[in-house]
Structure 1
Amino acid sequence: MSLTHLAVIMDGNGRWAKKRGLPRIEGHRRGAQKAEQIIEWCAELGIKYVTLYTFSTENWRRPPEEVNFLFALLRQMLYEKFNRMMEQNVRIRFCGTMEQLPQEVVQVCRDFEEKTKSNERIQAILAFNYGGRREIIDAINNGIKNGLRTFNEDDLRKFLYLPDLPDPDLVIRTSGEMRISNFLLWQIAYSELYFTETLWPDFSKEDLLKAIEDFEKRQRRFGGL
């Protein structure tokens, strides 16, 4: 069974740090390094799209110093890893309500989207300031602004944040939590779900291969027989 689009809910950074007596921000730093690794692993495996749940609309409830650290970490990782992304032919895209972010963050995100837009080996989509319910509401409102009064599925899809992306085939969530947490609610209607107890910074290539092996054993019927 072909795996074209992998989506990941990267959970457990804070718990990883707490277990080691480290500050939460160190867990986020290690988690960001793991995100870089999984993009490269997916590219090696021929997966064309990987979407990483990086910062949710609910994450604004965290302490301001943690939120600001996450913004700074994103900018740092993009600048530090730019040459590597170009060498690996990785296209970076962002999915979320970008206009609510600090202007310097938006500028960096748009800059790196532009710089990598011709890369074709793999698309790495960072769901940043993203919420699934918000995306659906935004899609409906944008459709209305464009003259629609009623919608079918194809109509709504045109107004999603990244309508050209195929739906995820597989969603992985780490850290033992077994919920979707407002992630790609429209797109994962028929995605396969895989949950692991492994905390995100500890997620290894072997863990990824195990998830893919499990996925390949499943039968996807999409509501049919």
Structure 2
Amino acid sequence: MIRRCIEHIYEYLISRQCMHIPRHIAIIQDGNRRYAKKRGIATSSGHRAGADRTEEVLEWAQELGIRHITLYTFSTENFTRSDEEVQNLFALFKEKLSRISIDERVHKYGIRIQMIGDKDMLPDDLRGAVEQAEAATAHYDNFYLNMALAYGGRNEMLRTTAKILDDVRKKKIKREDITPELFEENLYGNSVSLPPVDLIIRTGNECRTSNFLPWLANGHESAVYFCAPYWPMFRKLDMLRAIRVYSERQEMKKRSAC
């Protein structure tokens, strides 16, 4: 109780230092398996604890007015994990996604669900749950929850490049039409709204961005915040600290421009 009261005070003090709120935060949710090992519980229980924490984080984002949250949910490299772990993860994703269309918070706050990644790599039942969640929330535009599933930064760049080259071959566009703006427009197609990333957060004491959203993050020089807590232990205080880093960076830009 005392510790939570102290955290509330810290949250208030840090929030006063957050003069700028990022529009788009991308989160690498690292540490579920290490959290499970530390607690002596099954890996699947660690992933479930992480999924539960994700729901809390989305509530904090809504409170703070962060319109876009992109979660690195499952990478293309994660397919190399054991079949049991992958199947448990897919079952967890399907369960959470299936609840979205009836979640009162989603409809109350107008949250749109979007997936980025290679849908063809997902099993049919999970792909169906994704498409159902996207369809049920397609008319909302207050907040966006973007799930990076079967996602890889290099794969994203290759798929986009191939699409543009195909358009050139079909004479839909000319070579001279290829610009950074055109490339960005073709990243996810017209059905997905994803602005440049302002801030990347990575949990689990890993100091790397793992090729996450290379064009929208690295290409736009987003701020980066690495923190020690495993994802299931991530707190609102940690999120506010990350936003403070972004805010301080924005203030530095303003001073440099003067």
TM range (shorter): over 0.9
CA distance in 2, matches of 1:80, 1:115: 11
Q: Write the distance in 1 (CA, Å) between the matches of 2:84 and 2:21.
A: 42
5 Å matches for 1:10-21? 10-21=29-40
Q: Which runs of 5+ in 1 are unaligned?
A: none
Q: Taking every aligned residue pair, what percent have the same amino acid on both sides?
A: 38
- 1:90 and 1:158 map into 2 onto residues whose CA distance is 22
1:27 is displaced (CA, Å) by 0.7
RMSD of aligned residue pairs (Cα, Å): 1.8
Decide which of 204, 222, 226 is 1:175's aligned counterpart: 204
Q: Does 1:97 align with 2:118?
A: yes
**Which residue matches 2:5?**
none
Residues 82-125 of structure 1, C-alpha deviations (whole Å, 9 max, x = no match): 32322332111100001111111111101110101122331000
Counterpart of 1:87? 108
Distance 1:98 1:203 in 2: 29
Q: 2:53 aligns with which of 34, 37, 41?
A: 34
Which residue of 2 is the match for residue 192 of structure 1?
223
Query: Which residue is equivalent to 1:201?
Result: 232
Q: Is the 8 A contact 2:21 2:65 kept in 1?
A: no
Q: TM-score, normalised by structure 1?
A: 0.93
AA matched with 2:160: A
Taking the aligned partners of 1:116 and 1:126, their CA distance within structure 2 comes to 14
Q: Deviations over 1:53-75 (max 9, x none)?
A: 00000000000111111111011
How much has 1:2 moved relative to structure 2? 3.9
Instruction: State the secondary structure of the residue aligned to 1:218.
Output: helix
5+ residue gaps, structure 2, are 1-19, 169-173
Equivalences for 1:61-140 in 2 at 5 Å? Answer: 61-81=80-100, 82-84=102-104, 85-140=106-161
Deviations 1:110-147, CA, capped at 9 Å, x for gaps: 11101011223310000000001110100000011111
Checking the alignment, whether the CA contact within 8 Å between 1:43 and 1:121 is kept in structure 2 is no
Are 1:153 and 2:180 counterparts? Answer: yes
TM-score computed with the length of structure 2 as normaliser: 0.82
Structure ID, larger Rg: 2
Distance 1:175 1:47 in 2: 22
